[in-house]
Amino acid sequence: MEHTISISASRERKVRDTSNMPFGVQPTEHMFMAVYRENTWEDARIIPFSNLQMSPLALCLHYGQTVFEGMKAFLMEDGGINIFRPDKHYERFNKSLERMCMPSVPKELFVGALRSLVQLDAGWVPEGEHGSLYLRPFMIATEERIGVKISDEYLFMVVATPAFQYYTQPLKIRVETEYTRAADGGTGAAKCGGNYGAAFYPSKLAREAGYDQVIWTDSKQHEYIEESGTMNLMFFIGDTLVTPPLSGTILDGVTRDSLLTLAKGAGMKVEVRPVRYRELQDALEHGVRLEAFGAGTAAVIAPVATIAIEGKEYSCYTGADARMYQLRDMLLRIRKGSDPDVHKWNYII
Ligand SMILES: *Cc1c(COP(=O)(O)O)cnc(C)c1O
């Protein structure tokens, strides 16, 4: 089925000075929305950014049928703009939707919404090495009814906000062995709202103890590393890149997948296998050079300086020649168009 997207642009359009805009607070001028009712998507449109009107009975406000994606558009060296790996984000969006009993979005509608919005708000894509336009597709259940059920009506939207390097300090994180983010059979592999609300409390306790985040461990034995915050965790143990497998309890990160692909292509040793936190502790205690980093769209990579295990703090390697920075730079060069895009990751608009 054809999906035409009607566009009503705001009158005032200009190139924005996006420097100093805090991440996630300032939306661009427009937003995309489409409505699902009677088993079809309709009324796809881009309109000036505005508040939503919603009944307090809307199901999303009560029972958590919400799913989101997070992706980025980049200004390339030749002045073009690309959206990074929309296919892979689309696949994951649909997997999350299926797990939450929400209707899939046709691919042309998903990609068309992103393309049209980025074209219209192209003046908001920041320049500079670490700037990008963060894109947030999401879906919520809108049927008006108090009563626990799968919604029959939904809203699919895309909003955008300028993003810059999340450059803060390298992270201090602690291994969490009491609370659980996701259990086997649960929703850990879905980017659904409830996963994040449920993670706030243990993260808050970690912050109060002086850490930036927790390292989640498996729900059964609390022995195996899962992920951290909204990032997959990766390690260089010696010169081998190691990361836990997609067990069903962690997100299938697009950044994780991209970095694994680049590392293999560069001839690095790569192991995707379960990782016990005791293994990391062992390496750290025996002076093995260990790099640890989070991988995710928002931060690209977030170096970890300190890992705390049962109250004992260990230092990871974060020197300028760390391999994680080589990996990050390979990815940045592809996105900016300075290296060839052999994997066809850049969707140029
Ligand atoms: C979004 C997310 C990631 C990272 O995925 P990317 O596609 O690389 O941005 C990892 N873990 C969780 C829990 C996430 O929500």
pLDDT tens digits along 86-105: 999 999 999 999 999 999 99
Ligand 1 surroundings by CB, under 6 angstroms = 70, 191, 227, 230-232, 251, 253-256, 295-297
Question: In this structure, how many other beta carbons lie within 10 angstroms of the beta carbon of residue 187?
Answer: 20
Nearest CA to ligand 1 atom 14: 230
pLDDT digits (tens, 9 = 90+) for 180-192: 999 999 999 999 9
Same domain, 140 and 235: no
**73 domain-assigned:** yes
pLDDT class of 11 with cuts at 50, 70, 90: low
* Residue ranges making up the domain that contains 84: 6-164
Furthest C-alpha separation in the chain: 63
Same domain, 233 and 103: no
Task: Report which ligand 1 atom has the smallest distance to the Cα of 69.
Answer: 1
Domain boundary among 164, 192, 215: 164
pLDDT digits (tens, 9 = 90+) for 256-266: 999 999 999 99
Same domain, 19 and 78: yes
Report the CATH number at residue 124: 3.30.470.10
Residue type at 27 in one-letter notation: P
Same domain, 153 and 202: no
Q: Report the pLDDT value the prediction gives residue 12, as an integer from 0 to 100.
A: 64
Using CA atoms, how far apart are residues 339 and 261, in angstroms rounded to an integer? 15
pLDDT digits (tens, 9 = 90+) for 191-212: 999 999 999 999 999 999 999 9
Ligand 1 centroid distance, CA of 298 (Å): 9
pLDDT class of 284 with cuts at 50, 70, 90: very high
Number of domains composing the chain: 2
Same domain, 73 and 107: yes
Question: In this structure, how many other beta carbons lie within 10 angstroms of the beta carbon of residue 245?
Answer: 12
**Phi, psi (degrees; rounded to nearest 5) at 303:** -65, 140
Q: Report the pLDDT value the prediction gives residue 22, as an integer from 0 to 100.
A: 75
Ligand 1 centroid distance, CA of 14 (Å): 32
Q: Which of 71, 227, 251 to mutate to test the pocket of ligand 1 (most atoms within 8 A of CB)?
A: 251
Ligand 1 centroid distance, CA of 96 (Å): 12
pLDDT digits (tens, 9 = 90+) for 95-139: 999 999 999 999 999 999 999 999 999 999 998 878 999 999 999
Same domain, 226 and 104: no
**Phi, psi (degrees; rounded to nearest 5) at 254:** -70, -35
Same domain, 156 and 304: no
**348 domain-assigned:** no
Nearest CA to ligand 1 atom 10: 231
Same domain, 180 and 31: no
**345 domain-assigned:** no
pLDDT at 1 over 60: no
**218 domain-assigned:** yes
Ligand 1 centroid distance, CA of 53 (Å): 29
**77 domain-assigned:** yes
**341 domain-assigned:** no
Same domain, 180 and 327: yes
**140 domain-assigned:** yes
Domain boundary among 144, 164, 184: 164
Report the CATH number at residue 209: 3.20.10.10
Percent pLDDT > 90 in the chain is 89
The more confident residue out of 25 and 159 is 159
Domain boundary among 136, 164, 192: 164
Q: Which of 95, 195, 200, 230 to mutate to test the pocket of ligand 1 (most atoms within 8 A of CB)?
A: 230
Same domain, 135 and 208: no
pLDDT at 15 over 60: no
pLDDT at 281 over 70: yes
**346 domain-assigned:** no
pLDDT class of 167 with cuts at 50, 70, 90: low
Same domain, 176 and 160: no
Ligand 1 centroid distance, CA of 232 (Å): 6
Q: What is the end-to-end Cα distance of the chain in Å, rounded?
A: 22
Same domain, 82 and 141: yes
